[in-house]
Structure 1
Amino acid sequence: MRAASITAAPGRRTPCAPAHAPAAGRHHSNVRRRGRFCAQGRAGGRRGGPGHQRGAGNVNDALFQGILQALNAGIPVVIASRVPYGEVRPVYAYSGGGIALLRAGAIFARDLNPQKARVLLMAGLGAGMASLALVSLFNQ
């Protein structure tokens, strides 16, 4: 059970954090488009988002490239799983594996489902947390 205390920064609005749910054959262009959109002056208030994964949170290489683009644009990406039991963990080191995602700067939601990870990310961003503080928030 997580017991995090987050205080919103005065005058800040809750940020938008769109989610991306990959499926077999789905292209990474949605993640890339969001990366470009958010990088261009944070248009529309989009400042981060969880990726809905299956299993331990590994992705294919094409999706990994889109995630890298978002991370390089300064957009935090949270990896969460839709499976009912277990947690996302950095296990495999191939391009798109959990270890590669962790090294690239992705945040692992551990046992939170994508919906809860999105709310926690929005709360952290709304409180003005930077990347390291967000990692700490998800590791509580």
Structure 2
Amino acid sequence: MRDGLVRLWTGLDHGHRALVVQLLRYGVVGVGVTLFQIVIYNVLIGAGHRPPLIANTLATMAAMVVGYTIHSRFTFDGHGERESEIKAIFRFVVTNGVVGFGVNSFWVWLFTQALHLSPHWPSVPMFCVTPAILFWLNRKWVFD
């Protein structure tokens, strides 16, 4: 198994190796940031007695601060030619604050309003689907 992985790694060109490293970093950081957001969301709908969409809004804002800080300095460090930090922050806010928030708000609506399920159910696609969408947008637009 190890030899196969070594052969696979050495067979990759520099660009593909960089992508693999970013995916691994995003996996680690993304899991942490996503769990941070989901914990805040669940605490707010549970002990905080907040409506699910309000909880999603507050959790998204908190996760965006943590997410930008770590992704810009670790996950996508050295990727692309960032012209300015302000431009990257603006794009991150659009990507995560509009697209990510919109997708997660859809999950909240779908599970709580349309399907009338527990407000905890949106946590599943928030963890499994939204991060994949955001990785692609962050890599291709925000930190490019």
Q: TM-score, normalised by structure 1?
A: 0.31
Greater strand content: 1
Q: Larger helix proportion, structure 1 or 2?
A: 2
State TM-score, norm by structure 2. 0.30
Report the structure number with the largest CA radius of gyration: 2
